[in-house]
Amino acid sequence: MMYFWLFVSVTLASLLMTAGLRRYALARSIIDIPNARSSHSIPTPRGGGVAIVVAFLLTLPLLGQLGLVPLHYLVALGGAGALVAIVGFMDDHGHIAARWRLLGHFSAAVWALAWLEGLAPLNLFGVSVDLSWIGHALAAFYLVWILNLYNFMDGIDGIASIEAVSACLGASALYVLSGFTDLIWPPLILAAAVLGFLFWNFPPAKIFMGDAGSGFLGIALGIMSLQAAWVSPALFWAWLILLGVFIVDATITLIRRFLRGDKVYEAHRSHAYQFASRRYGRHRPVTLAVAAINVLWLFPLAWCVVVLKLDGLTGVVLAYVPLVLLAFKFKAGQLEGV
């Protein structure tokens, strides 16, 4: 690959920046102290996700200069990602009210959709469906949900990093297999930035991502999925399949907590992956299980949608059914001790 050096350089830059951020966090006592709602038991530095943000955003102008990514896509990714990262960074260093966070998140979503021209027509059972302005509104809520669920799911060592790397590398492989090789660079570079951080975040984690990193990953992955839909509707469905573990766990947990009358914006430990980590007493088996599900179950189904032309919505349903059963098996959204 002609520009493979980019992947290696971004990985090394992220790795070194994370090391520096860890030293800074330790020196300034920017530490995540365990509490009753935590899934970890050892005080750990936080804010390492800033390395992912900086490594990725600094590479975007180079991708544009090399002609690897169109300008409108770069502006959508860079502007929305930077805004979400700033909001997350401020929240990491001092609490921001939920309404102001949501305002920032929706502003980022609107910015991205303005440059992407909204939601592309989707293919449903062989029929192209253009939802027009309703689709654009739904796309804004989709982006805000994806970035928030990524924050919710960043609760045990390595899980958010593994999910991002799996989804990005899986999407890149599908782009190549389907002949859309010009799309690979944003997900490949994001995977590289996360891999550098993952060296420090793999269980047992030496530093946490923080809201700046998790929110940034959520909005970036959401934008990549919407941009892919303009190239081929099947690619959008493939992204939904690749992100299935996070989408299903977070959505079921939110619905059950909402129906119970809980304050859904408050921290908790009732996601399926959190129950699973407590059942097995460690984070690593759960994180590795997520990686295995992504590689052995979700990627093959996404491949069926993109390469074998399986109906996209059918593929999503087939992918999600076992994930829903797993979520209920591991008590997603249930009160602890019940």
211 assigned binding-site residue: yes
How many structural domains does the chain have?
1
- Domain of residue 206 covers 4-238
Residue 323 domain flag: no
Residue 321 domain flag: no
Q: What is the pLDDT of residue 337?
A: 63
- Residue type at 334? Q
Condensed to tens digits (0 to 9), the pLDDT of residues 207-255 reads: 999 999 999 999 999 999 999 999 999 999 999 999 999 999 999 999 9
Residue 255 domain flag: no
Q: What is the mean pLDDT of residues 186-213?
A: 96
Condensed to tens digits (0 to 9), the pLDDT of residues 153-190 reads: 999 999 999 999 999 999 999 999 999 999 999 999 99
Instruction: Answer left, alpha or beta for residue 42, where phi above 0 means left and psi between -120 and 50 means alpha.
Output: beta
182 assigned binding-site residue: no
Residue 271 domain flag: no
Residue 275 domain flag: no
- Sign of dihedral through CA atoms 16, 87, 243, 175? negative
Residue 79 domain flag: yes
Confidence check: pLDDT of 1 > 60:
no
Tokens at 276, concatenated: 């699973």
Residue 333 domain flag: no
Q: What is the pLDDT of residue 2?
A: 64
Give the model's confidence band at 196: pLDDT under 50 very low, under 70 low, under 90 confident, else very high: very high
Q: What is the pLDDT of residue 97?
A: 84
Residue 149 domain flag: yes
Q: Are the beta carbons of 211 and 153 closer than 8 angstroms?
A: no
C-alpha 212 chain-centroid distance: 12
Confidence check: pLDDT of 92 > 90:
no
